[in-house]
Amino acid sequence: MSAVSASRINKLATVARSINNSRALSTAARQISRRISRPVAAPAIAAVQNRGVKTLNFGGSQETVWERSDFPKEKLAQIFKNDTLAVIGYGTQGMAQSLNARDNGLNVIVGLRKDGHSWKQAVADGWVPGKTLFTMEEAAEKGTIVMNLLSDAGQKDTWPTLKKYLTKGKTLYFSHGFSVVFHDQTSVIPPKDIDVILAAPKGSGATVRSLFLEGRGINSSVAVWQDVSGSARERAFALGVGIGSGYLYETTFEKEVYSDLTGERGVLMGAIQGMFKAQYEVLRSKGHSPSEAFNETVEEATQSLYPLIGARGMDWMYANCSTTARRGALDWAPQFYEATKPVFQRLYASVENGSETRRTLEENSRPDYRERLEAELKEIADSEMWRAGVTVRSLRPENVK
């Protein structure tokens, strides 16, 4: 692609430095999150965070957002002064949310299968067996807010055990609407005498933790399935801040799971791999080298253009590219839109009618799930495109030794 117009170089350089700094911080934070063995002080809230609940214009629609400053640590302590947060599961979300809540001063315990890999990781992160680390059953019994952060398949498998500990007056918390919305497949039907809430971070657990450690915070959606106490909504937003969110918006359990599953299978993960692969193979079939095909398909996208979209939007990225690149993108975008929209419509329908969740549960509950997954990921890793990517990434300035 041609160079960016000269009049915008200084502005782009400033944004690029900011992006690179953020990337370096995120990498360091992810490493810290795997090694931390003691509590850390909650990050100081920057001055830009003291804005509060407000209604904003999102592309012509008015929506209300809540921010971290609406629930300072003192308010969190007051709201949850009589609560024990029992985090069930220690995958990426369980680890990140439990550590963030602990660092925010909340009373947190973790429930896991004893002596497994996650148990050992939790001990390394400072959770103490018999004090803050228990079996799942013990934690669920002790907790007043039971935070079910197991995998969707894991939630289905453990529900018969966990539900007996969800006694009157407790709160059941999720970070995904899957199990409750598709209860016909999971059998997860909460008791009628408890609050059921959701705070769903819009990113991986690694990002939830790293952004918290940077003093920023991820954006999350919040929903209420049952409000028995009359305060479920406030507690849901407060807990969203407690687990590390910077700002939050309200949704429903149904909308959260429909949008989340569509996004993961679509532009966030599934579609992007499919499009990368298609373009790479066309370039290779026309005689382009692996390094050139990878650079023009993946490297330029992830290292140059996507960060610009994230910083200022698609129109700004277009405006800061060459006239040739801009003209071609504007001409071809409608064709990709027409080609892909029917695919996204089929995808959403498959999520809405439950076929996606049914397949997910079936596949992820297989006894050979791990082996099959590793084989699928190995096929991607061993493909020429991603093997070329290993070499390309090694040539980035920050990776040259």
Active-site entry in 117, 176, 183, 288: 176
Cα distances from 84 to residues 79, 145, 335, in angstroms, run 12, 6, 53
| 176 assigned to active site | yes
CB hemisphere CA count around 28 (13 angstroms): 8
Distance CA 139, CA 88 (A): 7
Contact between residue 62 and residue 150 where contact means Cβ atoms under 8 Å apart: no
Cα distances from 116 to residues 64, 76, 208, in angstroms, run 42, 32, 24
Q: Which residue has the tokens 């479920």?
A: 232
**Residue among 291, 294, 93 at smallest CA distance from 199:** 93
Cα distances from 140 to residues 32, 35, 49, 98, 341, in angstroms, run 28, 26, 34, 14, 44
C-alpha gyration radius of the chain: 23
Q: What's the burial of 324, exposed, middle or buried (CB within 10 Å: 0-12/13-18/19+)?
A: exposed
Q: What's the burial of 127, exposed, middle or buried (CB within 10 Å: 0-12/13-18/19+)?
A: buried
Distance CA 288, CA 279 (A): 11
Amino acid at 187: S
So which residues are the catalytic ones?
A: 176
